[in-house]
Amino acid sequence: MGHGMAKNLVSKGWPLVVLGHRKREPVEHLKSLGAREAATPRELAAQCEIVHLCVTGSPQVEATMRGEHGLLAGAKPCTVIIDCSTSNPVSTLALAEEAKAKGVHFIDAPLSRTPKEAEAGTLDTMVGAAPEVFARIEPVLRAWAGNVVHLGPVGLGHKMKLVNNFIAMGYAALFSEALAIARRSGLSVEQFHAVIGSGRMRSPFYDTFMQWTLAGDENAHRFTISNAHKDMRYLSAMANEAGAVNLLQPQVKNMFAAMEAAGQGERFVPMLADFIAGMNGLAPAGSKE
């Protein structure tokens, strides 16, 4: 996701500094387009007025922000740090306070859609930021996003992202279990798809999710089980903090927890259908029977 976003920024005329890491191919490609490379987050922040973070989750965000080589150590007053990760809102608000003490703005702008849209510059983003900060960064966001929604103060972006991912992972769990029930009852994957894929239950999520089961396409929906489980843990914490009654969400979380505990955390979300099929004594959902 980060490579596509950065490519769009530099290709559309924004001066870009990237943080070097072991995966050299995307870094070298961005450098070939005109980007410069920094060795540490501190070095990067010292050269930038606006910083994007696109990492796995809150532990990685915190590690990049804090410490003698972190972003906060190098950021100048009025720097804006945009966390595009799917993070824990509790951590987001704590980091925003730490940044504020240094005169730095820390805001949340998590992403929706896939690496395909990142490359095309048509991601969705939901933003938590003060109005004046949002006005300053909106042109930058629109370099890589097709849909930009300003929700309000810092923290609301990450809260909305977790709700969004709960709905998405709920669909994944529902489709996976429905497929298994259908197949145990004598219906084929093709029959399932002939009805669901042409009716009101069809959606863009269904289309990418089902590409693994229907065509063995693992690249259509590249979101890992471990990331899905992480997001559902964050949502559980958010619901507890809000005092919300969440009866369904723990069941969704535990489907991903079970698959990760089985050593399959690096597989992609559509492959949950295979895992649930196996629990039902069935071959992988994409197998021809």
Beta-carbon contacts of 199 under 8 Å, excluding residues fewer than 6 positions away, are none
Q: With CA atoms as reference, report the closest residue to 92 among 160, 27, 32.
A: 160
End-to-end CA distance of the chain: 36
Per-residue pLDDT tens digits for 243-263: 999 999 999 999 999 999 999
What the block records as the tokens of 183 is 């197949």
Domains contained in the chain, CATH given: 2-153 (3.40.50.720), 159-279 (1.10.1040.10)
Residue for token pair 């100048």: 76
Catalytic residue positions? 161
Sequential DSSP letters for 238-269: HHHHHT---SSHHHHHHHHHHHIIIIITTSBG
Please state the pTM of the whole predicted model: 0.92
Strand partners, 52: 82
DSSP code for 224 = B
Q: Do residues 76 and 102 make contact, with C-beta atoms less than 8 angstroms apart? A: no
- Reduced to 3 states, what is the DSSP secondary structure of residue 82? strand
Per-residue pLDDT tens digits for 108-166: 999 998 888 999 999 999 999 999 999 999 999 999 999 999 999 999 999 999 999 99
